[in-house]
A and B are shown apart, each in its own frame.
Chain A
Amino acid sequence: MTTVTAPTTPAGPATAPAVAGPAATPAARRREVPGVALGVLGVLAFLAVWEVVPRAGLVRATYLPPASEVLRTLAREAGRAGFWTAMGDTVVAWALGLAIAFGAAVVLGFVVGAVPVLRDFTASTVEFLRPIPSVALIPLAALLFATDIRSTLLLVVYAAFWQVYVQVLYGVVDVDPVAEDTARSYGLSRWSRVRHVTWPTALPYVLTGLRLGAAVALILAVTAELVIGSPGLGQEIAVAESSGATSVVYALVIATGALGVAVNVVVRLAERRLLRWHPSVRGEVAA
């Protein structure tokens, strides 16, 4: 059985036809309720819960001050010079440590990655040293440098180095052999190949390493300040805790979180800018 439908197709491309009534526009608008609006709603809901729970006595206010009180304390802290000095100390230690670790890791990573012999000989050492938690070095740092910024740097550099190094290695090793062969057959020198083949291939990995390293660096910076007492936000938190200034502790935690978010955002922006040319930003290799 066959059915033939004699169509009356209009000549030319499909134009916006009689759309099925009211269903379309509200549907479109519903889909467009921006994620941003929902996100803001989520934050407000969270703050509301935070406000209500201590006030309603569900948790003792001495343990968990209501959101409004903490935010007020945060505003007060932000007016204090000491707060900003501490923030500056943390940022300086973070940035310096990250820079050192990044530089060393990139150089070493490229050198070792390019030479298979070096890779084979260093693999076991890396596999052993990498999982050593940097917090294990805290007592050593405390002994050697006491509350000087160098104790922070010791921890930050050690931790961040591995994050970056591992990613750089992955990146260098990931170079497409076809691309490499093409470059060689066109007579590019070794240095040119590194510039035009190895570096662009490795760049996404290098930036992933930077992102991971930046996060870890911040964690360790604050940790060192918290436990050892070197200057920075971590130390401020420790002082606030020991003097029982609960609201201050929470306020400073929020400030630290904000710093963490800022670090994340900055690195991601850098990543997107530098990789704008890259067709497919590779996913993070489970380091």
Chain B
Amino acid sequence: MLEVTGLQKIYDAGGRGVEAVRDLTFRLEEGELVCLVGPSGCGKTTLLKCIAGLMTPTAGTASLAGVQVSGPPEDMAVVFQEYGRSLFPWMTVRQNVELPLKEKKLPRARRTTLVDEALTAVGLTDAAGRYPWQLSGGMQQRVAIARAVAYEPKVLLMDEPFAAVDAQTRADLEDLIRSVWQRFDVTILFVTHDIDEAVYLGQRVLVLSNSPTVVQDDLTVDLPAERDQLTTRSDPRFIELRAKVYAEIQAAKRGSVPASTR
């Protein structure tokens, strides 16, 4: 479904080139929920922007369903970290969610169905007529998620969406993502710096190295499909995986790489 091959991005910083991302290669099959973790500054956002078509890579490609990404592809939706700035403050929640559908030229009845379903899925049916700035941070991020979901994308990219939200809200939103994923059967690439979150959410966890970035490791999370904040997080396998990822990241920060195991 989503294939990234040899992705490289070099930035121009006053004449000198800065290689943010060196060589990223990985795949996502249809319907997978994969998390991307890495040390701070390793280029996670750069990678996401390249995949989303918002930035052109210096080398390498990203393809969606076999078609190379050269601009924002139609079957992809992005949820940004700065929810406050990605929602239009002059539109209500409903209007915000509906806007991309209008652009897709869907008939009104279909739009209403999609919007209602999306809002129900994120639990915001009552807030449909309010403005984003009248809602809390967690609710605003739900609106952004609803908008992405209503768009019916094949792939959903999420760029550290819960970084700016408090811990309790984050737990709710993580469960929301899993329920949305199962309900709508989307492929999700979830970028985060939170190791616990990555292991809790993902079927696989891709660990990125330090800058210049490559994929350091690719772990399968063999936890049960039904996950729960309380029980899953105290599951011994969870703790094991979490420790492993943590060790990898620490090694990445130091610049040395331990032998990887599956």
Contact = CB atoms under 8 A, between A and B. Distances in A.
A27 B25 CA distance: 27
A16 interface: yes
Contacts of B22: 17
B14 A28 contact: yes
A286 interface: no
A11 B22 CA distance: 15
Interface stretch (B129-137, B146-154, B183-191, B253-261): B253-261
A25 B15 contact: yes
B76 to A, nearest CB: 21
Q: Interface SS of chain A: helix, strand, loop or mixed?
A: loop
A266 B218 CA distance: 60
B257 A16 contact: no
B218 A24 contact: no
Contacts of A11: 255-256
A2 B10 contact: no
Interface residues of A, number: 21
A28 B18 CA distance: 12
B6 to A, nearest CB: 10
B19 interface: yes
B12 interface: yes
Interface stretch (B64-72, B120-128, B205-213): B205-213
Contacts of B15: 24-25, 28
Interface string A1-42: 111110101111110110110001101100100000000000
Contacts of A3: 25-27, 215, 218
Given A3-B26, A3-B27, A4-B218, A14 B19 contact: yes
Contacts of A9: 209-210, 212, 214, 255, 257
Interface in A57-84: none
Contacts of B85: none
A4 B27 contact: no
Contact of A16 (B16, B25, B204, B220): B16
Contacts of A24: 10, 12, 15, 17
Contacts of B220: 2
Contacts of B18: 14, 16
B217 interface: yes
B229 interface: no
Nearest to A24: B17
A178 to B, nearest CB: 20
A23 to B, nearest CB: 8
A13 B212 CA distance: 8
Contact of B214 (A7, A13, A28): A7
Given A5-B215, A7-B257, A16 B29 contact: no
A16 B17 contact: yes
Nearest to A19: B17
A2 B219 CA distance: 8
Query: Which of B12, B14, B26 has the most C-beta atoms of chain A within 10 angstroms of its own C-beta?
Result: B12
A20 B255 CA distance: 24
B260 to A, nearest CB: 6
A129 B211 CA distance: 62
Contact of A17 (B17, B25, B255): B17
A61 B215 CA distance: 71
A5 B10 CA distance: 20
10 contacts: A2-B204, A5-B23, A5-B214, A9-B210, A9-B212, A9-B214, A9-B255, A10-B255, A17-B10, A19-B10
Given A17-B10, A20-B10, A31-B12, 20 more contacts: A2-B220, A2-B262, A3-B25, A3-B26, A3-B218, A4-B218, A7-B209, A7-B216, A9-B210, A9-B214, A14-B211, A14-B212, A16-B17, A17-B17, A19-B16, A20-B17, A24-B12, A24-B17, A25-B15, A28-B12
Ranked nearest first, the 8 interchain pairs of A and B with the lowest CB-CB distance are A19-B17, A7-B214, A11-B255, A2-B218, A17-B19, A28-B15, A14-B211, A14-B212
